Structure 1
């Protein structure tokens, strides 16, 4: 029989709106002794059943909801159906973009809290970030084996957030190892080399797929500066769409080497694409001193905000790079600027860019917005699922 979590009076409101989290301060008492990750029932102060979810004694998010249906059993069939439903929701977008790399499960937004599952051709990468996800590891793997029998499965649960759940960091193959951790995926006709063992996140930034298409659509005949370029995938779309030149900048030589391989993979090795191993903040200032100018600049930095306490400092960082980038653009040039920091909301991000324009003494017109790709959905019951924001700005 499941342990029971009783909430304080009035703390059931978010669950009635189908939000999938129960915080520790909302709990009045725990009846039973649930193990970390075990499924528990959540009841209001009067004892009315509200939901069932995975218990995590060490996390501030004490319960992550699996289901709001009292007749639902959290078993293998439950997870199998969630995976099938998620695949079905993505099939149209996969066909539309000729995708062989996509996100199958985006955690709470796909009603599997703490679970991230990405598919890279014939390799599936799982990232299990909560106690409940970790507890259900082998059930999930078994379901994936049934649905994708020809795929290898690798785990990338190497994210620090697991420590908040009392979990160790884990990586490794959950099936027999693939012949190579490197795999080639396709997005909208562009081929991309991904290493699932060493690449960022689960191997690659699948969420920026729409932004890469957008960058390509603006790139013809432009001199493009691609900052925080990683493996150069923005530059692939720009070069393929007729950019006059592209300069990729990243601090990682490994990433830049992969960028060169990606160019060759797409027959773009003779395109005018150069690579600079340098800190972006430092290089932007050097370019400003040298009087260099570009027609288009892409700013896709790593997450600057990992806690609310770091928000002010992060805003300064975003403002700084956007201001200098605006100063490096030719009149009428385009700035494609992004933030993947979920704690920095879209309104504040736009304000930071506006402040950067004021300090740079530039006029900034926002001509387009982008967000995370279709396979990173935002559930209406879980607005926290919206994290990736992009602005296309014309600067004069």
Structure 2
């Protein structure tokens, strides 16, 4: 049986958790009270020893644990996880019944009631991501619950933590029949090649599904498109299928070349008619300005933090500079798709970055549409800060 430790919360953190906030911040408790082992169940109480909820101790970048239930009599066992999974699957019935989209998020951490754990579906294959050693301690009950809840070809996992609670990534086969990779998934009728056994990422970021659809349906036709920080070129595929005259994909990672060729090829797009550049994005901006290149559609989807030999980049402080570089090579009436998954600031601040860049370049603009996480990335309505994705389609007017 998992050990249970009573933990008294400081004010005002106790009040916040009483209102349903699921994250246990580091400052909410006296560090001397913390148990020695991650995965320990926590009986959370206020200063009057009144029960607030049961959670688990697990160190990750967001805090030191998550509330799992506010029912003092509810056990955290296989039945608990089964109940959560069944409810999550019910909420995504429309996705399971949609043959044109066969890749989506089945379980979204705290949005579905278990912080630190996500589950994605890829055309019969499931990928479980673990974000702390604490939640990983429940793996046997979680996998037993998942196996009895879903029909699967195979289940894979990615452990995105190390023994100190810091972020890392590795992956492994768990159960079922190992897949022959890449496997093909559909997204709004588009095809993407997915690898569940090849390092940190799969080949497609599922949270950008609605953005790729918008690009294909409303913005790509007859454009010269630039996709920066392009990874495997998923946005470029959407643009090409939406009628773009040409796409240019730029990413510093050497493996992006083969990955992007693969994504074009599985959609029967002639990759030789597209441009795929393995180079630093900021160097490409300088190259484009020197050669007076202009693009009708520019996608900016940088990592929250990146480091090269020459520089470091952080969206929290460098996004306005990135936008200024993009504005310089965007044609009049062209569209910039500005995106970030940095959870440390909200849409209001992000729009402030946008305005700052356009003001600095003395350029007028119009916001065409905005996006946040799609419906399968379920977020608690009361706590929109967990909705990390911010995407703004901006028209450059002059």
Q: Return the TM-score normalized by structure 2.
A: 0.89
Q: Which residue of 1 aligns with 2:381?
A: 380
After TM superposition, the structure 1 = structure 2 runs for residues 209-288 of structure 1, keeping only pairs within 5 Å, are: 209-216=209-216, 217-269=218-270, 272-288=273-289
Which residue, 125, 135, 138 being the options, matches 1:136? 138
Q: Which residue of 2 aligns with 1:322?
A: 323
User: Do the aligned residues in 1 keep the contact of 2:102 with 2:186 (CA within 8 Å)?
Assistant: yes
User: Do the aligned residues in 2 keep the contact of 1:305 with 1:341 (CA within 8 Å)?
Assistant: no
Q: 1:316 to 1:51 in 2, by over 3 A?
A: closer
Q: 1:230 to 1:59 in 2, by over 3 A?
A: closer
Which residue, 78, 81, 99 being the options, matches 1:79? 81
Q: Which residue of 2 aligns with 1:302?
A: 303
User: Do the aligned residues in 2 keep the contact of 1:34 with 1:55 (CA within 8 Å)?
Assistant: no
Partners of 2:62 and 2:101 lie apart in 1 by 37
User: Do the aligned residues in 2 keep the contact of 1:100 with 1:120 (CA within 8 Å)?
Assistant: yes
Q: 1:72 to 1:359 in 2, by over 3 A?
A: same
Q: Deviations over 1:165-214 (max 9, x none)?
A: 37986532212561434211110000100111225445531111111111
User: Do the aligned residues in 1 keep the contact of 2:119 with 2:129 (CA within 8 Å)?
Assistant: yes
Q: Which residue of 2 aligns with 1:146?
A: 148
User: Do the aligned residues in 1 keep the contact of 2:237 with 2:264 (CA within 8 Å)?
Assistant: yes
Q: 1:9 to 1:348 in 2, by over 3 A?
A: closer
Q: Deviations over 1:43-68 (max 9, x none)?
A: 11111111001124898834411101
1:389 aligns with 2:396: no
Q: Which residue of 2 aligns with 1:340?
A: 341
Q: 1:202 to 1:156 in 2, by over 3 A?
A: farther
User: Do the aligned residues in 1 keep the contact of 2:158 with 2:171 (CA within 8 Å)?
Assistant: yes
More moved, 116-125 vs 94-103: 94-103
User: Do the aligned residues in 1 keep the contact of 2:194 with 2:203 (CA within 8 Å)?
Assistant: yes
Q: 1:164 to 1:270 in 2, by over 3 A?
A: closer
User: Do the aligned residues in 1 keep the contact of 2:170 with 2:199 (CA within 8 Å)?
Assistant: no
Partners of 1:305 and 1:343 lie apart in 2 by 16
Deviation at 1:220, TM superposition (A): 0.6
RMSD of aligned alpha carbons: 2.7
Deviation at 1:338, TM superposition (A): 0.5
Q: Return the TM-score normalized by structure 1.
A: 0.90
Deviation at 1:380, TM superposition (A): 2.1
Paired residues, number: 390
Partners of 1:77 and 1:325 lie apart in 2 by 51
After TM superposition, the structure 1 = structure 2 runs for residues 34-53 of structure 1, keeping only pairs within 5 Å, are: 35-53=37-55
Partners of 1:40 and 1:180 lie apart in 2 by 41
Q: Which residue of 1 aligns with 2:294?
A: 293
More moved, 172-181 vs 48-57: 172-181
Q: 1:63 to 1:333 in 2, by over 3 A?
A: closer
User: Do the aligned residues in 2 keep the contact of 1:377 with 1:385 (CA within 8 Å)?
Assistant: no
Partners of 2:11 and 2:245 lie apart in 1 by 63
User: Do the aligned residues in 1 keep the contact of 2:315 with 2:340 (CA within 8 Å)?
Assistant: no
Q: 1:21 to 1:134 in 2, by over 3 A?
A: same
Deviation at 1:350, TM superposition (A): 0.9
User: Do the aligned residues in 2 keep the contact of 1:125 with 1:202 (CA within 8 Å)?
Assistant: no
Q: 1:47 to 1:29 in 2, by over 3 A?
A: farther
Q: Which residue of 1 aligns with 2:118?
A: 116
Q: Which residue of 2 aligns with 1:196?
A: 196
Q: Which residue of 2 aligns with 1:64?
A: 66
1:205 aligns with 2:205: yes
Gaps of 5+ in 1: none
Deviation at 1:382, TM superposition (A): 3.5
More moved, 344-353 vs 145-154: 145-154
